[in-house]
Amino acid sequence: MRSVKVRVPAKINLALHVGAARADGYHQLATVFHAIDIHDEITATASHDGAVNVEVVDILGKPMPHVPSDRTNLAAQAALLLRDRLAEPDLGVHLRIRKAIPVAGGMAGGSADAAGALLACNDVWRGGLTRRELDTLAAVLGSDVPFLLHGGNALGTGRGEQVTPVLSRSTFHWVLGVYAEGMSTPAVYAEFDRLSEGRGKNTPDEPHGVLAALGSGDPEALAGAMRNDLTDAALSLRPELARGLDVGSARPPLTGLLSGSGPTTVFLMPDSESAEVFSVDLRDQGIFDGVVVAEGPAAGARVVG
Ligand SMILES: C[C@@](CO)(OP(=O)(O)O)[C@H](O)COP(=O)(O)OP(=O)(O)OC[C@H]1O[C@@H](n2ccc(N)nc2=O)[C@H](O)[C@@H]1O
Ligand SMILES: Nc1ncnc2c1ncn2[C@@H]1O[C@H](COP(=O)(O)OP(=O)(O)O)[C@@H](O)[C@H]1O
């Protein structure tokens, strides 16, 4: 039985500029995605019985019953979509997902698993689709999925699915404040619409400042330019998130921002040493359920074994 393992990173949004809702309900975005070195691993084992199964475990190998393991799991949807595209109904696969990316945390964990499953199944089934063809399938699965295939940094336009790679000069250092309770992306976008009363801009502002800061590699410039337009909506639904955003420290971050639709809070640090010091401080403060140190940009989905 052929088996392949794929690693796929989490993302954060360095800029999340949100326009008005479109006729199809999606919002026009100008976002800058940044992949970080927190990875889910997907091991795909092929079969010829037409069965698509998913098993989800945490980093210690324990089952994660709150993540769906039926066909609503985005990784299963990716496998089914690829199988339809290949028109080979007898293809089957067992997908074992080892999750390190927080669930419903605004870090695109489900989208990462979908991207990883596309790549893994294309390999174990010898599908032969090109990266460009996988991109097209990825966009069907979700707005964030194409970026997770690419990784690095990228400008995301349209509903986020049109990705243009952006080079950056340096590695950036992050501390993530993670909550056990996630947030629903559609609920946060709906709250954004309610708060803007349909008066949102049709065209979101271009994230010039963030793109320039990536070019220069200057973390202070990046901190000054980062912006997330979903912040007010997320805070309106979960006011207690303000505490995490306002956190103080003797070794303060350059800035703190929600990632995507939240609730994960990302702190940009000037260097790796201050990231370690601040992470200890943040753990002691007990505001978050978990504190993780990370670096970016990281590579996109890739086969590792
Ligand atoms: C907010 C962001 C920022 O990167 O990430 P997360 O916080 O989910 O990680 C994304 O826009 C989430 O993208 P993703 O989670 O892939 O969304 P999709 O599956 O395509 O859509 C889920 C739902 O989110 C809303 N949605 C999503 C993307 C978009 N541009 N406009 C929207 O209004 C819609 O209500 C849609 O039905
Ligand atoms: N492979 C998967 N991993 C995590 N969540 C998944 C997966 N497949 C489907 N889901 C569902 O998608 C929801 C959003 O999960 P996730 O992608 O982690 O969050 P976010 O959209 O905030 O980045 C979860 O609550 C879960 O019910």
CATH 3.30.230.10 domain span(s) along the chain: 3-166
127 lines ligand 1 (CB under 6 A): no
Other beta carbons within 10 Å of 99: 20
Query: DSSP readout, 104-157?
Result: TSSS-HHHHHHHHHHHHHHHHTT----HHHHHHHHHHH-TTHHHHHHBSEEEEE
Q: Say if residues 11 and 108 touch (Cβ distance below 8 Å).
A: yes
pLDDT value for 169: 85
Q: Say if residues 264 and 228 touch (Cβ distance below 8 Å).
A: no
Between CA 175 and CA 182 the distance in angstroms is 18
* 109 CA closest ligand 1 atom index: 9
pLDDT value for 201: 79
Tell me the CA–centroid distance for residue 210 and ligand 1, in Å.
21
pLDDT value for 202: 82
Instruction: List residues with catalytic annotation.
Output: 11, 144
Name the phi and psi angles at 92, rounded to 5.
-130, 165
Other beta carbons within 10 Å of 240: 10
pLDDT value for 147: 98
Annotated ligand binding at 275? The verdict is no
Which ligand is nearest the CA of 38, by number? 2
* 159 CA closest ligand 1 atom index: 30
Residue 274 tokens read as 């201050």
Q: Say if residues 85 and 268 touch (Cβ distance below 8 Å).
A: no
Between CA 168 and CA 152 the distance in angstroms is 9
- Architecture of the domain made up of 3-166: 2-Layer Sandwich (3.30)
Q: Single out the residue of 75, 123, 125, 70 nearest to residue 99, CA to CA.
A: 75
Query: Per-residue pLDDT for the chain (305 aa), expressed as one digit of tens each?
Result: 899 999 999 999 999 999 999 999 999 999 999 999 999 999 999 999 999 999 999 999 999 999 999 999 999 999 999 999 999 999 999 999 999 999 999 999 999 999 999 999 999 999 999 999 999 999 999 999 999 999 999 999 999 999 999 999 899 999 999 999 999 999 999 999 999 987 777 899 999 999 999 999 999 999 999 999 999 999 999 999 999 999 988 889 999 999 999 999 999 999 999 999 999 999 999 999 999 999 999 999 999 98
Q: Single out the residue of 296, 23, 5 nearest to residue 166, CA to CA.
A: 296
CATH 3.30.70.890 domain span(s) along the chain: 172-296
CA-nearest residue, atom 5 of ligand 1: 260
Name the region of 197 (left: φ>0; alpha: ψ -120 to 50; beta: rest).
left
Tell me the CA–centroid distance for residue 160 and ligand 1, in Å.
8
* 73 CA closest ligand 2 atom index: 8
Domain 172-296 annotated CATH 3.30.70.890? yes
Annotated ligand binding at 76? The verdict is no
Q: What ipTM does the predicted assembly reach?
A: 0.98
Tell whether pTM > 0.95: yes
26 lines ligand 1 (CB under 6 A): yes
Between CA 68 and CA 56 the distance in angstroms is 8
Annotated ligand binding at 182? The verdict is no
